[in-house]
Each structure stands twice: as structure tokens, then as C-alpha cells.
Amino acid sequence: MTSSSTSKTFSFNTIQEANEYFLSQGWTDGLPINLPTKTEVSKFIKTATNPGDHIIGIEPVKGREITLEKIAINSVMAGCRPEYFPIILTAVQALVESQFNLHGITASTMGAGILTLVTGPIAKELGINGGINVFGPGHEANATIGRALRLIVINCTGSRSGEIDKATLGHAGKYTWCITENEDFRPWPNTAEDRGFSPNANTVSVFAGLSPIQVSNHSSQDPEDILRSFRDALFAAGPNQGEILVIFCPEHVQAIARAGWTKSQVRDFLYDMAVRSKDEWGFGSIPPGPRPNGKEIAHSSLTPESFTILVAGGAAGAFSCVVPLWSSGIGSQSVTKEII
């Protein structure tokens, strides 16, 4: 670790000894790490314009300062390349925004992961995958960038499993979860453009994502039929969601686009379609007996604009998904920042 910093320095006889020590201290995600040596950490710091002790952000609940060097150390541990560092720095700035509520999503028993979305030319330049197996293994940039953010949360905010992290179940996205959109099949503006950035802007968005719910429809090319397939997945997200992430695969989005549908039309249809009576929403949690408000209905989302829509995944296979967000998207709101 850098000698000019306040970070502690350790010496080990073997890599295995170092990994076992880091694991015993709760400094890892349970997997082996790359050792954050002074030489390796300095490579990351050199890519930035500020010194290692520069504060990138402050965790708003516990007030912990997250320095550039601390981020670099965890990025090395995750196996990142130095060229990924601007994305990670920007993502950390997004994570500590009060509306994202990092402490809340980590301490909650709901078990959200950090879904990181990278948009713009930088995604292709760095090989971030938005196509085949978009949530799966085999892509270095996706795997290590997402992992770096998890290690930063563990080590810079103290959110270790069983301590601050109190997830009842959690899910695999809590190890690493970083994607980009599939630019080869995207017929609509990307997420950054939807949020006011220029078409060529490089941005990072962070979402407090719960477990993805896969949606399958291989039998229809009609937009309405395809979108109706999302009904049960949206119900699983719960009523009155402030934000829901809907990820369309290329097969589904091509059929929808061929019919001339815009994102706004898709949002409106999903909003109007995904409704249930309050009685149905409460099924299983309300004791048997009269339900005087059983005819009142509630939508899955608060408004049509509550749906964040993007295109990702492989060209073959009509499998899309819904990613519910923590605390109805109200307790935590996604944040998008431009990479400078």
C-alpha cells in the first residue's frame, strides 16, 4: 500500500497467507483477492488527477470518508485494471448520494445488491458486456468493476455480512453486478439520454437491485402480448413502486420496435396492465374474513415514469427480466453521474 497514505502496511510470506489474513479480518467477499501492493495501488492513483488522500465521498449516515486511495486499494483487490478506475470513482460518488441511501440498502434485511450500469463509448472501449450472458461470468470488466464496488462498501463503510449487512437472503448480484446496454439492438435512447445527458456521454448509474425475475415469451411478436408476459413479474415487485427496472432482451425489443412502439408507450402499457385489487395484493398476508376495500386497485408502479427501461442480453432467446428495487424505489432512488 502507498507509503504516503494513512493506510496500514502488512507483510506476508506467501500470497495464501495474505489471503487468509484478509479473509479472517472480514476484508473480502469470501473469494481470493489480488494483493493491493504499493506498486499496484499506485498505478490506479496515477490515472486520477487528485492525490491518494483526496476524499471522493462521505458515507452520509456513518460519516465515513472514502478516499481515492481506499478506492484504489479495493479496486486492486477486486482484480480491476487501472483503466476501469474512472468508472469506479464515479460510481462511488453516486453511491454516497443521499437519495441512493447506501446505508439503508445495506443494513436492510431485504438484501439489495448494487446494480451498476455503464453507458456511452467507454463501455465498448473497456469491453463491458451488455450482450450474451449479461448477468453472468466470463467478462473481466463487468466482474471486477462490480466486485470492486462491493469491496468498497464492505471495507470503506464497514458493511460486512452479519454486522451492518443484515440481508435475510441476499442474492448473487451482491458479489458483483455491472452491465451495459446492448447497443447493437437498442432502438430507443439509452438510460443516460433519458436522464438528460448527451447521446455520447459516458455515465454510471447505480440501482439498489433485488433478485432479477426472468420473463419468457417465445410465442408472440405482438407488443401487447409480450408486455402482458411481465404482469406476474411486476406483481412480485409489489404495489406502488417508485422505480422498477425492466430489461428487454433483443428478441422482445425488436418485435416491440417493429410495431413502432416508443419507450413512453411501453411504460404506459405496463402501468395500465399491471394492476390488482388491494385484496389481491394482500393475499397471503391478510387473515381470512371480509375485506371491505377488496375492489380498490393499485398499480405495480406509482406512475408510468417509474419504469426504467433498457435493452441488454444476447440476440438469441426471448428472455427479458424485471429487477425490483429496494424499498419501492422511494427509500432508495437510482443515481446517474457522468464520468469526467
CA distances from 254 to 8, 159, 257, 290 (A): 53, 41, 5, 46
At residue 156, the pLDDT reads 95
What's the rounded mean pLDDT across residues 257-276? Answer: 97
pLDDT band at 189 (very low <50, low <70, confident <90, very high): very high
> pLDDT digit string (tens) for 236-252?
998 999 999 999 999 99
At residue 3, the pLDDT reads 40
143 close to 176: Cβ distance less than 8 angstroms? yes
At residue 284, the pLDDT reads 46
Residue 105 has pLDDT above 60, yes or no: yes
At residue 295, the pLDDT reads 59
Note the residue count of the chain: 340
Mean pLDDT of the chain: 92
DSSP state of 302: S
At residue 340, the pLDDT reads 86
Contact residues for 337 (Cβ-Cβ < 8 A; gap 6+)? 90, 91, 93, 94, 203, 204, 205
What is the side-by-side strand order in the sheet with 178-180?
A: 178-180, 113-119, 203-209, 335-338
> pLDDT digit string (tens) for 145-157?
999 999 999 999 9
Q: Which has the closest alpha carbon to 253: 265, 241, 244, 243?
A: 265
Contact residues for 90 (Cβ-Cβ < 8 A; gap 6+)? 203, 204, 337, 338, 339, 340
> pLDDT digit string (tens) for 210-221?
999 999 999 999
Whole-number Å distance between alpha carbons of 120 and 336: 12
Residue 172 has pLDDT above 60, yes or no: yes
At residue 163, the pLDDT reads 87
What's the rounded mean pLDDT across residues 273-298? Answer: 65
73 close to 1: Cβ distance less than 8 angstroms? yes
CA distances from 240 to 77, 212, 267 (A): 39, 18, 14
